[in-house]
Amino acid sequence: MKILITGAAGFIGYFISKKLLSLNKTIIGIDNLNEYYDVKIKKDRIKNLKNYNNFQFIKIDLGDFKKLDNLFKKYKIRYVIHLAAQAGVRYSIKNPNIYFKNNIEGFFNILELSRKYKIKHLIFASTSSVYGNSKEFPLKESENTDKPLSFYAATKKSNEIMAHSYSNIYKIPSTAVRFFTVYGPFGRPDMALFKFTNKILNNKEINLFNNGKHIRDFTYIDDIISGLLRLINRPSKKTIPYQVYNIGNGNPQKLIKYLRAIEKNLNKKAKIKNLPLQKGDVIKTHADIKLINKKVNYNSNTEIDEGIKIFIKWYRNYYNLD
């Protein structure tokens, strides 16, 4: 079974590739290695994946339809895990165009090729941000999601709607996975855990929006991967073969508590600058994981203390701090 993983140099793409490679699957990984964050991290992830013989990396941009078409043909792709996208809520405030190009046009190319090559299952990344400021906690997949607060969320919600129509008309089995704040080793430098750790270690001030009162359903990377893995061979069998699942932890925490856990693990206090709520940010996320639990027996097992500890060990080792 050959699986195409888009965004293979990314945080989640790296870990799902690694897991599938360790299970002896053949992985074709693509990524444009853009400079949204330190490219060295992306290159190092790919370097690690190249230790597996059944891994092939090709640098491609989602916008290059012709190159993608050749790749689908050449490698006889039948399964796609689409993770490549412009991620991040805050960056979308100043750069909506990049989100439109990568997340809408790029996704359209993936849909078109899924149709052309009769993909058996297209799994693609959506986000908890689609819930906006919904107040019905925990957030269920059936909740209304037509009021995104950021353009990032709007692009991801658009992906869900586009996929639904392709599943209906062309019978392409597709699954949207709404990830909830993913963290862990080799994670993203633009996200809280990485940024806070870096700032604390360098004695720099941390900008804490909404005075740290945000509540997030922080989900450890291994739990995300276990959810994704369980879904690959479970495309929807319904007349419209489309489905959506939350993949979260189900145990949300205040951002300030997350920060305190980082301080504890670093054995060092943060310098905090409290700031008001940032435009586009949702106040609280809390995943209802009953649906994915019922369907594929998914559970999230990692406590934030444990996950943060593993991250900090990785961080110290990666930057040779010990």
Tokens 């996704």 found at = 107
Q: How far apart are CA 129 and CA 155, in angstroms?
A: 10
Taking CB under 6 A as the rule, does residue 10 contact ligand NAD? yes
Taking CB under 6 A as the rule, does residue 125 contact ligand NAD? yes
Q: Identify the CA nearest to 11 among candidates 195, 230, 183, 193.
A: 183
Q: How far apart are CA 322 and CA 320, in angstroms?
A: 6
Among residues 17, 32, 109, 226, which is the contact residue for ligand NAD, using CB under 6 A? Answer: 32
Q: Using CB positions, name the residue nearest to ligand NAD.
A: 10
Among 10-18, 108-116, 272-280, 289-297, which window interacts with ligand NAD (CB under 6 A)? 10-18
Count of residues that bind ligand NAD according to CB under 6 A: 27
Taking CB under 6 A as the rule, does residue 61 contact ligand NAD? yes
- Calculate the alpha carbon distances from 152 to 85, 130, 188, 191, 276 in Å: 10, 9, 17, 15, 21
Contact pattern for ligand NAD over residues 249 through 288, marking x by CB under 6 A: ----------------------------------------
CB 185 within 8 A of CB 221: yes
Residue 273's beta-bridge partner residues?
Answer: 207
Contact pattern for ligand NAD over residues 93 through 112, marking x by CB under 6 A: ---------x---x------
CB 1 within 8 A of CB 26: yes
Active site (annotated) includes residue 75: no
Taking CB under 6 A as the rule, does residue 132 contact ligand NAD? no
Which of 14, 36, 152, 298 does the annotation list as catalytic? 152
Nearer to ligand NAD, 63 or 212 (CB): 63
Among residues 33, 93, 104, 310, which is the contact residue for ligand NAD, using CB under 6 A? Answer: 33
Residue 303's Cβ-count burial label (10 Å; 0-12, 13-18, 19+) is: middle
Q: How far apart are CA 184 and CA 49, in angstroms?
A: 17
CB 244 within 8 A of CB 175: yes
DSSP label of 101? I
Q: How far apart are CA 192 and CA 258, in angstroms?
A: 9
Nearer to ligand NAD, 32 or 150 (CB): 32
Residue 30's beta-bridge partner residues?
Answer: 6, 58
Nearer to ligand NAD, 110 or 206 (CB): 110
Peptide bond into 189 cis (omega under 30): no
Taking CB under 6 A as the rule, does residue 181 contact ligand NAD? yes
CB 119 within 8 A of CB 77: yes
Among residues 92, 127, 226, 300, which is the contact residue for ligand NAD, using CB under 6 A? Answer: 127
Among 65-73, 132-140, 181-189, 280-288, which window interacts with ligand NAD (CB under 6 A)? 181-189
Nearer to ligand NAD, 86 or 175 (CB): 86
Among 55-63, 192-200, 206-214, 314-322, which window interacts with ligand NAD (CB under 6 A)? 55-63
Q: How far is the CB of 119 from ligand NAD (least distance, A)?
A: 18
Amino acid identity at 274? N
Catalytic residue ranges: 152
Q: Which residues bind ligand NAD (CB under 6 A)?
A: 7, 9-13, 31-34, 42, 61-63, 83-87, 102, 106, 125, 127, 179, 181-182, 188
